[in-house]
Amino acid sequence: MGANDDHPAGMQSLPDGASESPLRRFEVTLRGLERKARLRTLAPRTGLDFASNDYIGLAGSARMADAVRRALDHGTPVGAGGSRLLRGNTLEHEALEHEAARFFGAEKALFFGGGFIANYAVLTTLPQKGDLLVMDEMIHASAHEGARAGRAHVVEAAHNDVNAFEDRIREWRAAGGVGRVWMTVESVYSMDGDTAPLAELAALADRHDAFLFVDEAHATGVFGPGGRGLAAPFEGRENVLVLHTCGKALGSSGALVAGARVLCDFMVNRARPFIYATAPSPLVAVATQEALAMVRDEPQRREKLARLIRFAGQEMERTGLLARGVGLSGTQIQPVIVGDNARTMQLAAALQARGFDVRGVRPPTVPEGTARLRISLTLNVDEAAVTRLFDALAEEWERHEP
């Protein structure tokens, strides 16, 4: 992740008696972003879905809508009305957490309003002063924010390099570090679509008496036995904590942190984002519990997505994209590295004009020089749509050659 260097270094001095609009510094920053082709704007959802994280098509499912409708009919409120430690704790929240702990094989689970705040809560609460937190350099921005605000000493390790993780631990110990070690990774990385070496990292955690915190945002509901994620073989261990985002393959919103009971209880008592936030909507808890049941009951969704991922790889080879240096991720997240910011956004706009909702991703979300199209494969499209997309991408790639 690159540092944010978009703010102006300084402002020009003004003539005596002149006044400057209090908004000018923000306008200068926005103009600077526009010059670098890095200005973000909101755009409506249009065209075929190659941008969302609704991987197995649950967000618009009739079954989830029916579950919410039944809950409303039985008096479930839309809003919680308070924090979990006040009157905001509902039977729906507790039912979801109980079912999530059972589903994922953990002692306990806690429901948060979103994945960002869950990452932030864990990393500002559990790693203590005097501990070491080793982060994969490509991990989510939310983990970086949590680490920055937390109390542990923080270092980064080269992406998916288990030896680099161990080197950081040994260096810290050699320098006198005596606290507990925490390691945090994603199981499927959100911008590259590659997977973490979780078995090796879990073994490393065991060797160094460390905790492993795994963000399963893009794996929950898609990978692992029964759709339980790639960390499923390690859940239930006292030194493994797992975050399961609910707003991606599970089709609702929020996030579940699953792990040892004592860690969850500690967060109820010490995690400020949990203590001082209004609880998530009880209706969202109902929808999420239904989503877990659908993941359990409808394995054909995962199987269909797996076929679509394989088919997309074949289409990328057929259209010559692989020969142009586009690598296969092997997951539902397929990055197409372009490099140049302006060309990335030109390609995205061209595809959108042809009816494909593909978005460009630029620094600082990804490292400098790696601006990309992030193609997301979901059950909201079929093989015919995938074929048309990659045909269009191959044509536009040639049309926008530098």
Active site residues: 53, 140, 186, 190, 215, 218, 248
Pairing of strands 132-136, 181-186: parallel
Among 115, 113, 122, residue whose Cα is nearest residue 84:
113
Dmax of the chain from CA atoms?
72
User: Which residues partner with 361 through β-bridges?
Assistant: 372
Give the ranges where 256-382 is alpha helix by DSSP (H): 261-270, 272-275, 282-297, 299-318, 341-353
CA–chain centroid gap for 363, Å, is 16
> Which residue is associated with the tokens 């008696």?
17
191 and 138 in contact (C-beta within 8 Å)?
yes
Cβ-based neighbour number of residue 289 at 10 Å: 26
| 190: CB partners within 8 A, 6+ apart | 140, 217, 218, 333
Structure tokens at 306: 């797996």
Q: How far is CA 150 from CA 70, 128, 132, 192, 212, in A?
A: 41, 8, 11, 27, 17
- Asked if 27 contacts 355 with a C-beta cutoff of 8 angstroms, the reply is no
